[in-house]
Amino acid sequence: MKKYFLILILVIIFTIVFSLSSSLAAELKTPAGADAINLSNIAFDGESYLVENYQKFKNQIDNLEHPTVALALSGGGARAIANLGVVKALVENDIPIDLMTGTSMGAIIATLYGSGLSVTQIEEIVTDTPFASLFNFGGGALLNSKKANIFIESVAPQKRLEDFLIPTAQLSFDLASGKKYLATEGKISEVLQASYSIPGYFPIHSREGHYFMDAGVLESTPAKSAALLGADFVIATHTPESRSGYDYGGAFQSASRFLEIIQNRYSGQILDRYSDFIITADVKDYTFMDFNYAARLVEIGYQETLKRMPELKKALAAENISLRASEERETFNLDDELRDLEFDRLIVEESGINPLIYYGRDFSPFNQDLFRTPLDRLQLGIEFYHNRARLSFLGDDSWSDGYTAALRVKKIGDSFDLYLKYKNDNDSATDDEYEAELKYFGRRFNLSGGYGSRAGKEYYLFGNDFRYLGENLQWQSENDIFFTRKEETLNLLSSQLINYDFTKAWSIGAEVVYNSSDFVESPLIYRGQELAEYTDLQASLNFNYNYNLRLPLQLLNFLQLTDIGGYLFADYYHDRDRDQEGLAVGPGFNSRLYLLGLKPIEVELFAAHDFEIQDQRYGLQFSYSF
């Protein structure tokens, strides 16, 4: 009876949070008409555009006391990250930027710079942000990108397009009217989606009867849009894709090739006619999925622009356009925003249901996050979410051996999240497990406190984890202290990961797990024989080599291989209860496959010789979390 009561409590709390969030959202909802679009139908050179607040935007350009220089940033998925390198070189060389237009990734770069961020901070965000954290599966397409839009708005100094330091327009295509659409106003999180909506990949964006998608096929570089808005001199970027070896008998590749031909035809005409200067970044060997090569793509755009700089300055001088140093920009403290992204604390105003599919590691909510015990079976479950609340149910061995339920409520305070967990193993003879925890989130560290029961022992919980991520040294630590209520004993579960990089390829790493309890399971890192679940000490020393491919290896059009690694390891364990210890050594190989350049699938192969049992163990692990 107790188990059903606890489940009922979780559902009731989720329902209360759902109701309160809905009520609060209704109270804070923007009054009708407050964001009504002032839309103009502008005919320009044989084509019609829908432009928001056209006259107001045009007046900003016309009132300038010098010729207007526009920067039109191309799309192209990850390839178009090269646009940031272009902006960086232009700013360093005092090339004026009075107007920006962008589509797809070009719109994202234009939004970040136009809103007031410095190039340095944008580069840190683009090259250091884990893109996988910005996208979830589902939501009307393969990838749900609402979190990405919210994150971009959170780091932007100005949150609305009409308030940007540099007048900025985002180009998309309106399916309802069949016309190109230029957004010049509205909150970033509410309008940015339109510029990169790709049917099947990212959701189609709708707003007030308009349905938007990426305009890249018709105008991959929005140079014509810049001319329509009043630019006197248009600097356009071009990030072309040039692949060979198409399988024209395959539906996907044939359709992709057809769209590429159409895009190149339209893009070539627009670039030739409306661009005064074109910067073509040599990114043809990369695809729209290559987000893991962000730093390299930025450098390609930067170097290409520097190479063309004398020509550009000469072209500007011929039009009597003077160089102007841009005002030095403030460096903003983005610790809170980066913290919220790192720990999945961004609030997305939406409701729905997600399937949970895990393989290769044990993703029970009762386990620590730093190390997860290898698990050679599927874990299947379901998650209900509404705004800041998430309620999940996860089966143990496809629900035949039990299940766990977990409720997380994000941001009950600016820095606090609430966690409630429950576990039932379908055995009436054993006590159910539960835990309530309040967690405080800081930048690179967390603190938590709570109360729970495992294996029949009730305890008070105190936890912390932190991360030090230096240039060569990385240290991650996760620690939980359990004070048992009845026995009044202190128990510690501590996991440590330290890695030192000798070079970009060679490193040495140490892993340690210490567990003084007899009721909290240890995460298993020992690669020799199977260990007891309460093993008190495990340690591992790894000598690693990792080779980053100069270009990603594309597999099946949606998987990438970016690196291949090899390592030698020595693992040690000690079990106080059985008074045993052991040592295992061996070689291993690992790699990551990225689904659409975003979601990693970890692959590991190792062979271990265990000296205690004088036997070998071989492991082949695929680990993914979707």
Helix axes 105-114, 82-92, angle to 10 degrees: 30
Q: Which one-letter DSSP state was computed for residue 160?
A: B
Residue 267 appears among annotated catalytic residues: no
Give CB contacts under 8 A, 24+ apart, made by 470-474.
471/501, 472/500, 472/501, 472/502, 473/498, 473/499, 473/500, 473/501, 474/498, 474/499, 474/500, 474/501
Closest C-alpha to 405, from 430, 428, 436, 378: 436
Q: Which two tokens stand for residue 315?
A: 């072209």
Active-site residue identified among 21, 74, 98, 104: 104
CB 463 within 8 Å of CB 481: yes
**What is the chain's alpha carbon radius of gyration, rounded to the nearest angstrom?**
27
Query: Which phi and psi angles does 507 have, rounded to 5°?
Result: -155, 165
Q: How far apart are CA 143 and CA 159, in angstroms?
A: 24
Q: How far apart are CA 541 and CA 583, in angstroms?
A: 11
Closest C-alpha to 81, from 311, 289, 331: 289
Distance from the first to the final alpha carbon of the chain:
33
Residue 225 appears among annotated catalytic residues: no
Tokens 């009044």 found at: 488
Q: How far apart are CA 593 and CA 315, in angstroms?
A: 45
CB 56 within 8 Å of CB 196: no
Amino acid identity of 243?
A: R
Closest C-alpha to 209, from 330, 429, 39, 29: 39
Active-site residue identified among 98, 214, 232, 276: 214
Q: How far apart are CA 107 and CA 171, in angstroms?
A: 7
Please give the positions annotated as active site.
104, 214
